[in-house]
Every structure is written in structure tokens, then in C-alpha cells.
Structure 1
Amino acid sequence: MSETLHPNAPQHLPGFITAPGDTDTLMVVVGIVLIGSIMMVGNLYLRLHSMPERMAHKSQKLQFEIVAVLGLIALFTHNHLFWIIGLLLAMIDLPDFSTPLRSIAGSVRKIADGDATSETTELSGEPPPLPIAAETSSRPGEAGGHGHA
């Protein structure tokens, strides 16, 4: 600072007051701290916000997509109810109904295919093919593979 001060200025000025034209270091430091704190709080917010989705992904939940959509809806609408529902869905194990239903559907399809082949052979007049289990046994003394003597 210059030796000549304004007559109304105090004789001792604090260190954060700079001379005209100098760099204001306090403002630069506060700006860096402000930007850093905004980035840290934003990162914490987004990590907290994606917590249900990460929980559902780690445990390989079936409802992962539903939890992810609820998280996005909560992010864009700022409606916390969607986030809470997503968190609860991520924590709950829903029973797997699709695997047994697929198995039942596959079994019914096999039964239907077996019935369809027997109906077509009856219409065509050809004898139906023998199942593997009903073939005659190769052991002597057994008639027809039934094991009755």
C-alpha cells in the first residue's frame, strides 16, 4: 500500500484489505473453498440419492429397474416419497414368481406337444411311437418290460 492514506482512514488496516489493482487473495481463497464445498455437497447428495439403486444392484434384486426408475423420478421431481419407496423396495426381497411360472409353462407346453402328436397319429392311422420307458426289457423272463412274472 502507499504511504499516503486518506485522512479519514484508520492508521492500521487489516491484512485482507488490498491496494487498488492488487489481487484480492481472500476472495480467491473463499471462491475456491465455495466451489469445492458445492462440489462435495453435490457429490454427497447424488451418492445418497443413488443409494437404493446401488443396494438393489449389489444384491441382484429382481426389482432393480423399478428402484432405478423411482430414483430418477425422485431426482427430477424432488418428491421424497419416490425415494423412500425405492429404498424400501431395495431392502425387501420380493419372491421370484417368474421362474416357477416359466417351469409350469414349459411343462404344459411339453404335455400339449405330446398330446398333439398322439392326436395327429390317431388321425393319420399310424401307430404312435413307443416311449422309451415302455420298451421291452432285455432281461430274460420279463414280458413287456413290466417286471411281472
Structure 2
Amino acid sequence: MMSTSPHPEASHHVPFYLPGADGSDPIMVGAGIFLTVAVLAFGLLFLRLHTLPERMAHRGHKLQFEIVAVLGLLALFTHMHIFWVAGLLLALIDLPDFTGPMRRIAGSSERLAGLPPGGGDVTSDLPPVHERQTGNRARHLVDERLDA
């Protein structure tokens, strides 16, 4: 039978860093807790830094944000840092809005042609302009162009 009492010649004061007679090891428990917290903190810092371009581009245009997000995913899955750098640079650049002026030009052209708003959209499922029932002026303009 084993005795858990210390040897009579052993010191009665045992330092805290030595395992106890019951097998507990406070240094190993502390190191395990520290390692777990350190790994979680490093992972959160890495993911926060990795999503920096997406968070910066979120305030911009939707297309710019989507391109930056795709570059971020490519950087994450391919481990090629150039995609992350490209996404960061794209997020830093303020792209001009080309769609707003183009929509205004299209709307003005439709008004000049006498079409209803969105009537000149060629990507819609509507029939061509000369087959649609539009205003008299639009039919007149279409007929003039067909006769020419």
C-alpha cells in the first residue's frame, strides 16, 4: 500500500510549481488556460484584420464591396496575400458613380422620345418599341424612322 505522506527527511515546505501529492499541477493548468485564451485572441485578431478591406468598402458602392469581398475570400482560401492587398487598395479608392449619370441620360432620352419611364429598356421582356402601345408622339417618331 502506498503512502501519500512525504518522506520524513523531505522538506515540509513544497514550492507551488511542483505537482502535489494528489497529482494536481497548477502550472500546467495555468499554461493550458493561457494557451487557449492566446489562440482564441490571435484567431479573432487575424479574422478582424482579414476583414478590414470588406469593412472599409462597406461604406462604398455595392459593386466595389462585392469585388473586395471576393478578393478577400480568394486571399483566405488560396493563402495568396496579393488578393488581400488588392482588396485593401480597392477599398481605399473611392470609385466614381457611373450608373447615376447614365440613368439620368437614359431617362432624358426616353422623355425626348416620348416613352414612359423605363420604356427604352432593351433588357426587359417587353416587345420592341414599335410593337408596344405608347404615346402618339412615340408612335409617330417610330413610324418616321421606319419609313426612312
With the length of structure 2 as denominator, give the TM-score of the two structures. Answer: 0.67
Aligned to 2:34: 33
Query: Runs of 4 or more off by more than 6 Å in structure 1?
Result: 10-13
The residue identity in structure 1 corresponding to 2:60 is: Q
Aligned to 1:60: 60
Higher Cα Rg: structure 1 or 2? 1
Alignment of 1:22 onto 2:44: no
Contact 2:54 2:65 in 1 (8 A): yes
Deviations 1:90-141 (A, max 9, x none): 100111111111111222222333652334798xxxxxxxxxxxxxxxxxxx
Sequence identity (%): 50
Question: For 1:75, what is the secondary structure of its paired residue?
Answer: helix
Aligned to 1:82: 83
Identify if the C-alpha distance between structure 1 residues 2 and 107 changes in structure 2 by more than 3 Å, giving closer, same or farther: same
With the length of structure 1 as denominator, give the TM-score of the two structures. Answer: 0.66
Contact 2:113 2:141 in 1 (8 A): no
Aligned to 1:118: 140
Deviations 1:17-57 (A, max 9, x none): 21454221111110000000011111111111111111111
Contact 1:68 1:86 in 2 (8 A): yes
Question: What's the RMSD between the two structures over aligned residues?
Answer: 2.7
Structure 1 gaps of 5+ residues are 123-149
Contact 2:60 2:94 in 1 (8 A): no
Structure 2 gaps of 5+ residues are 116-136
Identify if the C-alpha distance between structure 1 residues 84 and 20 changes in structure 2 by more than 3 Å, giving closer, same or farther: same
Contact 1:61 1:90 in 2 (8 A): no
